[in-house]
Structure 1
C-alpha cells in the first residue's frame, strides 16, 4: 500500500509536442500537457464532456523516449506522482503549479 500514497494514472491526449530542456549537467527534461475527458448526461439528457488539462514532467531516459516517440494529439497512458511548486513570475507575482512527474508512459494511439 505504500506505493499508493502519491500515485497518479491518467489516459488522455497530448496537447502539445514535447518541450525539451537540457541542463548543464546533461540532465534532460520534457514538459507536456495532457487532456483527460469525463462525460455525463445533464438533467435534460444531453451529453456533457468536461476536459481537464494536466501538466506533465519527464526526466532523463523517460524524457528521451517521449522526445523520440510522442507528438501533439497522441493518446497516452501515464503513471507518476503529483508534485507542487511555486515560482515568482516576471511581474513579481508568486505562482503555484501542480505537475505530474511521470515515471512511465505507454503510447496508446496516434491522432490521424
Structure 2
C-alpha cells in the first residue's frame, strides 16, 4: 500500500504550536495549494489542506514560518474522527514527515513591506521594440 503526498503552497495563517501532556510538540497549519487548472471564469482556485507535524519539525515550523510563507510538505494522508455534542466529526489531514522552507528568511520578513516593482501605477512604460525578446 502507498500513502504519500507532496504539496507546495503558502500558509493561510500563522502555525499553531502546542504540546501534548507528555511534552511532544504538535504544530497545525493550513496550506493553500493552487490547482493546476482554471475555472470557467479563468481564475485559478486553491485547495486548503490541513497539515500536522510533530517534534522538532513542529517547533521549526512554528519558529520559522508564518502566514504567507511558501513551504513544501512531504507526508501521508490520515483520517480520524471524534464525537462532539453527539455528532461524529471526521477530519482528513496530512501528517508531515518533512517540511521544507522554500524561500529565504529575509524574503519572508520583507513580504508586504516593500512596494511591488511590477505594480501598475498608471504610467506608461517606455520600452523600445528592440528591447523586446519576441
Q: Same fold (TM over 0.5)?
A: yes
TM-score by length of 1: 0.86
**2:73 aligned to which of 75, 78, 82:** 78
Residue 63 of structure 1 aligns to a residue in which SS? helix
Q: 1:21 aligns with which of 18, 21, 29?
A: 18
Following superposition, the deviation at residue 101 of structure 1 comes to 0.4
Secondary structure class of the residue paired with 1:67: helix
Closer/same/farther in 2, CA of residues 95 and 75 from structure 1, 3 Å limit: same
Q: Contact 1:39–1:48 at 8 Å: present in 2 too? A: no
Runs of 4 or more above 2 Å deviation: 39-43, 109-112
1:12 lines up with 2:9 in the alignment:
yes
Take 1:108 and 1:22, find their aligned partners in 2: how far apart are those partners? 26
- Give the structure-2-normalised TM-score: 0.72
Task: Tell me how far 1:40 sits from its aligned partner.
Answer: 2.9
**Cα shift readout 1:57-94 (whole Å, capped 9, x = no counterpart):** 010011011111110110101100000000112x2210
In 1, the alpha carbon distance for the partners of 2:36 and 2:86 equals 39
Deviations 1:9-47 (A, max 9, x none): 00001011111111121111000000111253566xx52
* Structure 1 unaligned regions, length at least 5: none
Q: Is the 8 A contact 1:83 1:101 kept in 2?
A: yes
Aligned equivalent of 2:125:
none
RMSD: 1.7
Quote the residue 2:128 is aligned against: none
